[in-house]
């Protein structure tokens, strides 16, 4: 499972780099335009993905096995209050923070072992409900959540007239080999 999740961390960065490069081709008003999507705009959708990642990393950092890798670096990021918050309304600033967080996720992935992935993470949901799951299960959710919402963002991008290009994990794997 370690290798699979590390591949997903690489895919996260690879796909974000490609997606953000294509979004950058749009003017700022088109990036922020409400497109009747779940998070409104391309900007809203990309902010949501970042917010969810930050929230999950904070939850992971609260567990003893992850604290050293995450606690200090996470102080560089704002703490979101809502899942639909716009942390960064400036696309360049959003891009910089996305790139930085993707680097942190990759560094964090280098600490993963089978033992760590089986350790429980205790956290509270946004509604305050107590939860506990293995780190590996939560990382699978993190990467699946990213992929789901990037799919929404690529649809919005395509509707704005920009072809996002290949997004499949297989394309990254072909580039790596």
Place of tokens 């918050």: 85
Give the containing element (helix H, strand E) for 62: none
Give the containing element (helix H, strand E) for 97: helix 91-109
User: 69: alpha, beta or left, given left = phi > 0 and alpha = psi -120 to 50?
Assistant: alpha
Give the containing element (helix H, strand E) for 42: helix 42-61
Q: Any binding-site annotation on 48?
A: yes
Q: Any binding-site annotation on 149?
A: yes
For residue 5, give both structure tokens.
Answer: 């999740």
For residue 42, give both structure tokens.
Answer: 């391309």
For residue 146, give both structure tokens.
Answer: 């990213």
Q: Any binding-site annotation on 58?
A: no
Q: Which residues are annotated as a binding site for a divalent metal cation?
A: 48, 145, 149
Residues flagged as binding site? 48, 145, 149
């Amino acid at each position: 499972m370690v290798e699979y999740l590390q591949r997903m961390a690489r895919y996260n960065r690879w796909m974000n780099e490609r997606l953000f490069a294509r979004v950058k081709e749009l003017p700022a008003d088109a990036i922020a335009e409400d497109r009747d999507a779940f998070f409104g705009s391309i900007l809203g959708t990309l902010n949501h993905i970042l917010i969810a990642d930050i929230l999950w990393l904070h939850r992971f950092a609260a567990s003893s096995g992850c604290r050293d890798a995450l606690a200090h670096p996470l102080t560089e990021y704002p703490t979101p209050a809502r899942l639909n918050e716009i942390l960064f309304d400036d696309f360049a600033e959003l891009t910089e923070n996305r790139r930085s967080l993707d680097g942190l996720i990759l560094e964090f992935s280098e600490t993963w072992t089978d033992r760590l992935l089986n350790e429980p993470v205790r956290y509270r949901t946004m509604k305050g409900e107590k939860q506990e799951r293995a780190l590996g299960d939560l990382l699978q959710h993190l990467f699946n959540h990213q992929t789901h919402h990037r799919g929404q963002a690529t649809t919005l991008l395509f509707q704005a007239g920009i072809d996002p290009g290949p997004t499949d994990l297989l394309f990254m794997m072909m580039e790596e080999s």
